[in-house]
A = this chain, B = another copy of it.
Amino acid sequence: MTTKRVVPLIFERSTPGRRGYRLPALDVPEVSIDQLIPQEHLRTQPAELPEVSELEVIRHYTQLSRLNHGVDVGFYPLGSCTMKYNPRVHEDVTSLPGFAAIHPYQPESSVQGALELMYNLSEYLAIISGLEATTLQPAAGAHGELAGLMVIKAFHAHNGEGHRNEMLIPDSAHGTNPASCAMVGYKVVEVPSDDRGGVDVEALKKLVGPNTAGLMLTNPNTLGLFDENICTISQIVHDVGGLLYYDGANANAILGIVRPGDMGFDVVHYNLHKTFSTPHGGGGPGSGPISVSKDLAPFLPGPVVRKEGDKYVFATPEHSIGRLKSFYGNFLVYAKAYAYILSHGPQGLREVSEIAVLHANYMMRRLQDVYYLPVDRHCKHEFVLSGMWQKELGVRTTDIAKRLLDYGYHAPTVYFPLIVDEAIMIEPTETEPKSTLDEFIEAMRAIAQEAKDNPENLTSAPHHTPVTRLDESRAARQPILRWQKS
Contacts and interface: CB of A to CB of B under 8 A. Distances in A.
A93 to B, nearest CB: 14
A400 to B, nearest CB: 14
Contact of A87 (B54, B433, B434, B435): B54
Interface stretch (A58-66, A295-303, A372-380): A58-66
Contacts of A54: 85, 87-88
Given A62-B73, A66-B66, A464-B3, A56 B87 contact: no
A18 B55 CA distance: 40
Contact of A73 (B13, B63, B71): B63
A63 B436 CA distance: 14
Contacts of A431: 53, 55
Interface in A65-93: 66, 71-74, 85, 87-88
A408 interface: yes
B56 A433 contact: yes
Given A1-B407, A407-B1, A464-B2, A63 B74 contact: yes
Contacts of A406: 1
A114 to B, nearest CB: 21
Given A73-B63, A406-B1, A464-B1, A435 B55 contact: no
A72 B58 contact: yes
Contacts of A2: 464
A43 interface: no
A458 to B, nearest CB: 12
A252 to B, nearest CB: 16
Given A406-B1, A408-B5, A433-B15, A59 B88 contact: no
A58 B74 CA distance: 10
Interface residues of A, number: 33
| Copy total for this chain | 2
A132 interface: no
Contact of A59 (B18, B73, B407, B464): B73
A58 B88 CA distance: 9
Contacts of A464: 1-3
A422 interface: no
Nearest to A63: B73
A57 to B, nearest CB: 10
A266 interface: no
A247 interface: no
Given A13-B433, A62-B73, 10 more contacts: A1-B464, A2-B464, A53-B85, A53-B433, A54-B85, A55-B85, A55-B432, A58-B85, A63-B74, A66-B73
Of all A-B residue pairs in the complex, the 4 with the closest CB atoms, nearest first, are: A55-B85, A3-B464, A62-B72, A55-B431
6 contacts: A3-B464, A15-B435, A55-B433, A56-B433, A63-B74, A66-B66
